[in-house]
Amino acid sequence: MHQEPEQLQPMQIKTIFNQFLSWRDSHIKERHFLLFVSFLVGITTALAAWLLKSSIHFFQVFLTENFSRENLNFSYLLFPIVGILIAGLYVKYVVKDDISHGVTKILFSISQRKSRIKPHNIYTSLAASSFTIGFGGSVGAEAPIVLTGSAIGSNLGRLFRLEQHSLMILLGCGAAGAIAGIFKAPIAGILFVIEVLLLDLTMSSIMPLLVTAVTATTVSYLLNGMDAMFAYSQVEPFLLNRIPYVILLGILCGLLSLYVIRVMSWLETIFHAMSQWKRFLLGGVILSVLIFFFPPLYGEGYNTINTLLATGDGFQALTNESFFYNLESRWTIVVFLLMVILFKVFATSATNGGGGTGGVFAPTLFLGCIAGFVYSYTLNQLGYTTFLPQENFALMGMAGVMAGVMHAPLTGTFLIAELTGGYELFLPLMIVALVSYGTILVFEKHSIYAIRLAKRGELITHHKDKAVLTFLKVEDLLETDIPTVKPDYTLGEMVKVVSTCTRNIFPVVNDEGKLMGMVLINDIRNIMFRPELYDRFTVEKFMVGAPAKVEITSSMEEVMARFENSKAWNLPVVDSKGIYMGILSQSSVFNSYREVLVENYSEAND
């Protein structure tokens, strides 16, 4: 009689997997196995990027293939609202967690959660952003895919039970693989991690990043072909006499970046103060009305970029489906595109604020391309300067705005070169990126991703001392084994407490547990050995005020400032109501600092 083959049960699979992990611990060094996991991360992030792009493309084609070029399309008033409604309901009732601001969440995870990202982020941001952008939301898919990639890296590392330092590297690998996979840009993916995400890099982390980025790019080539993302061919060589105009473009890009960061932050504050349905109504109305009047705001805007990078007068078609269609003036396109630049920030903020999910990667490319085009086109029309190739300057504008908004000049330079194949313009791309970055630093020291965390004091930085401090928490360093005394204790009772402890400080608390002061051994040393005084003095008479207090919610930077200002070695910790929680010593802070420094910044010695 034929018997069906026995199927593995979940418990058997778990047992086999645990046996594999035990074997791996014994036979494969962590840094070698890390390369294998980074290879898996590269494959999965590229597949995730392909799935996201395919989903967005499907929705966009399905909804817009019958649009008229000459007439106003009133569907623009409906589709974006439906998209952010679906995404918002999905997040609220299915995900039940905040999945917006993908890169900011990664920065927060690195600095506060030790590189752990929730498993649902592997797929939830993909679904939400597919509906948001596919239905016309004016945001980019790159931030969601970066969050997805980092979640893949983090959770694969946890699945294989890798160490904390390896988890951080894999989180960066996921981000690099996501950028490399969606843009076919391996160098930009690695530079994005270096400039925006990670604290520091060593040879032990460079190799996994390379493996992931190269793998993700290769898979992306297999799935999407070998062509660059944007069709661009250089028809005019770069001439040195155009450098002054390149520098001026960099300054303009820096100022535009400042406008983007400040307005988005302002609008985000407004939306955050509203209830969900008010946010949806306001965001939906703003988004649909803006897209109706300015169709290039629909979706990611990559069609607009391709149009502006192409040679010829095809850019005039950008006014199709708008009130500017068929207006006979050479300045029509300039006015139209300037208004698009002005309102793009509002459209992007309305998309995310109204409940949609997306990032600012694509909007920065979109804004930079238009800014570079309008700048060169206007100067050419005025005729007072040497001819400036509009396609070249559109490309430079992309690098400039990205460098300014993200505070990442290397990423902006290499990404644009890899996106378009415009390596011949490498020098002007770098000039624009550096000038834009220098300009924005005069006004704003934080990138669009970091400014949210900076406002809350939760930003991890590239300054190693400050970065390590963000890993430390007051509640984790508390010493709670020091006995407390009451204000009405006699000197004799105080001496008994001293005899049971080796410390030289004793917190004084009242019956409610509130901190009243401190008793220092040095202050009572001259009377504590005189029994005749044991009943004459009480703690209230010889206690002193605390040199400073630390709240349990204080950041470690605030704690170190208290230590520095008070010149104390030990400080009491209280809650928001003044209830005593424990003692924090500089010794415990320094010991933990050294442990974190070794764990996260040292080379792998195995």
pLDDT score recorded for residue 453:
67
- Write the DSSP assignment of 84-124 as a string of letters: HHHHHHIIIIII-S---SHHHHHHHHHHHSSS---GGGGTH
pLDDT at 569: 82
pLDDT for the residue 343: 93
Topology (CATH) of 10-224: Clc chloride channel (1.10.3080)
* Superfamily of domain covering 468-601: CBS-domain (3.10.580.10)
Of the candidates 192, 162, 189, 191, the one whose C-alpha atom is nearest the C-alpha of residue 178 is 189
Q: What's the pLDDT score for residue 531?
A: 84
Q: Look at residue 46 in the predicted model and tell me its pLDDT.
A: 94
Superfamily of domain 240-462: Clc chloride channel (1.10.3080.10)
Quick one: pLDDT at residue 606? Answer: 42
pTM, two decimals, is 0.75
Helix (H, G, I), strand (E, B) or coil at 325: coil
CB 300 within 8 Å of CB 80: no
Location of each CATH 3.10.580.10 domain in the chain: 468-601
The pair of structure tokens assigned to 427 is 């020098």
CATH 1.10.3080.10 boundaries in the chain: 10-224, 240-462
pLDDT at 99: 73
Asked if residue 154 lies in contact with residue 174, where contact means CB atoms within 8 angstroms, the answer is yes
Residues of the chain with pLDDT under 70: 1-10, 12, 14, 17, 66-74, 100-102, 108-115, 198-204, 312, 314, 321-329, 452-471, 593-606
Tokens (6 digits) for 209? 């990043």
Residues in contact with 95: Cβ distance below 8 Å, sequence separation at least 6, in sequence order = 120, 124, 128
